[in-house]
Amino acid sequence: MLAAYAARINPDDPLSGLEIGERPEPEAQPGWTTVTVKAASLNHHDLWSLKGVGLPEDRLPMILGCDAAGLDPDGNEVIVHSVVSSPEWRGDETFDPRRSILSERHPGSFAQRVAVPTRNLVPKPGDLTFEEAACLPTAWLTAYRMLFTRGDVKPGSTILVQGAGGGVSTALIVLAHAAGIRVWVTSREERKRAQAIRLGAAEAFEPNSRLPERVDAVLETVGAATWSHSLKSLKPGGTLVVSGATSGQDPSADLNRVFFLQLSVVGSTMGTRDELERLARLCAERGIKPTIDATYPLRDARDAFARLAAGDVFGKLVLTG
Ligand SMILES: NC(=O)c1ccc[n+]([C@@H]2O[C@H](COP(=O)([O-])OP(=O)(O)OC[C@H]3O[C@@H](n4cnc5c(N)ncnc54)[C@H](OP(=O)(O)O)[C@@H]3O)[C@@H](O)[C@H]2O)c1
């Protein structure tokens, strides 16, 4: 079957390790199901994998891709929950120390077919296209958990989303706006700041701008480039929710500010199967459509990867079979 896979690791030139070509069909295992992939979306995770983050050389070649929507063997429309926990694990899958996400230990979703534990399938609402549904399992699920589970952000609060253009960030804007939260954003590009306003952000600022007032929570995926601004932007008692560090993971910790202002720094990773099911229902109920920048056939995956690596994206890039 056709697949986009990591053949080599190269931290400096990740796209040089990407191959698009034939890979073996997924192997049937007890308790697992093979899904025919109709759409899969790119995440920054796929670039990290090509750089060797979370994907050691001895697991290559590895089919990339965390997210998929498609058909199960009975023809049901499904969304794939990407967090694979150990078979004996019960409860919140993201707390399983042995969990992985598709493409780390098990072949990923940038293929015509992908095998997943049957318990990882979630019904796809008819209101969402396969392309839209394929945006939910990583970026949108991460945003949902950051806001409503780990961040516990209340309607009527004001939040700051750093780096408006990304997959997680655009999801944060749309979901928070739908929940009655006032959303402020930063972005490096004027074009993306204007697009964020159209998605529902109340105001958009250049990175590191002084805000009109301090916010209740900051939602952070950028890391070193914005961390200090994130801490300075919080009200006393405010919460910084972090799920990524695209620009680097060693910022100044500014501990005086953390303890004097009694700030909370909260980590968040992916989400549970139940959260994914609730997210899908929320999208269907409220007519929410994930923001898709562009769709590419699987055979043109290299073009999509190049766009993601260049940061030239607003929302999600989707591959179709
Ligand atoms: N923990 C988890 O479970 C989890 C899940 C999903 C994602 N993540 C992580 O979260 C991060 C974002 O993922 P994604 O898929 O949304 O990535 P993406 O679509 O590639 O978005 C990248 C984002 O980073 C911002 N950015 C990049 N470099 C920057 C810099 N030097 N200064 C300021 N902003 C910068 C961009 O904002 P502008 O271009 O608008 O400025 C954009 O919003 C990644 O590091 C990813 O690994 C973690």
Residue 234: name the closest of 218, 219, 220, 221 by CA. Answer: 218
- C-alpha to C-alpha distance for 232 and 258, rounded to whole angstroms: 10
Does residue 270's CB lie within 6 angstroms of at least one atom of ligand 1?
Answer: yes
CA of 222 to the centre of ligand 1 (A): 5
Strand ranges for 111-202 from DSSP E: 113-117, 121-123, 158-161, 182-186
Element (H, E) at 284: helix 273-286
Q: How many residues does the chain have?
A: 321
pLDDT band at 321 (very low <50, low <70, confident <90, very high): confident
pLDDT tens digits along 185-218: 999 999 999 999 999 999 999 999 999 999 999 9
On the 0-12 / 13-18 / 19+ scale of CB atoms within 10 A, 241 is: buried
Does residue 165's CB lie within 6 angstroms of at least one atom of ligand 1?
Answer: yes
Tell me the whole-structure pTM to 2 decimals: 0.97
| pLDDT beyond 80 at 73 | yes
pLDDT band at 28 (very low <50, low <70, confident <90, very high): confident
On the 0-12 / 13-18 / 19+ scale of CB atoms within 10 A, 26 is: buried
pLDDT at position 251: 73
pLDDT band at 287 (very low <50, low <70, confident <90, very high): very high
pLDDT at position 130: 98
pLDDT tens digits along 258-271: 999 999 999 999 99
- C-alpha to C-alpha distance for 159 and 314, rounded to whole angstroms: 20
pLDDT band at 244 (very low <50, low <70, confident <90, very high): very high
CA of 34 to the centre of ligand 1 (A): 30
Element (H, E) at 62: strand 62-63
To test the pocket of ligand 1, the residue of 42, 186, 229, 246 to mutate (highest count of ligand atoms within 8 Å of its CB) is 246
Does residue 122's CB lie within 6 angstroms of at least one atom of ligand 1?
Answer: no
Q: Which amino acid makes up residue 250?
A: D
| pLDDT beyond 90 at 118 | yes
Phi, psi of 156 (to 5 degrees): 90, -10
For ligand 1, atom 9, the nearest C-alpha belongs to 244
Residue 45 CA: nearest ligand 1 atom is: 47
Beta bridge partners of 37: 70
Q: How far from 33 is each of 64, 119, 234, 268, CA to CA, in Å?
A: 18, 9, 45, 28
pLDDT at position 6: 98
Residue 188 CA: nearest ligand 1 atom is: 41
pLDDT at position 27: 87
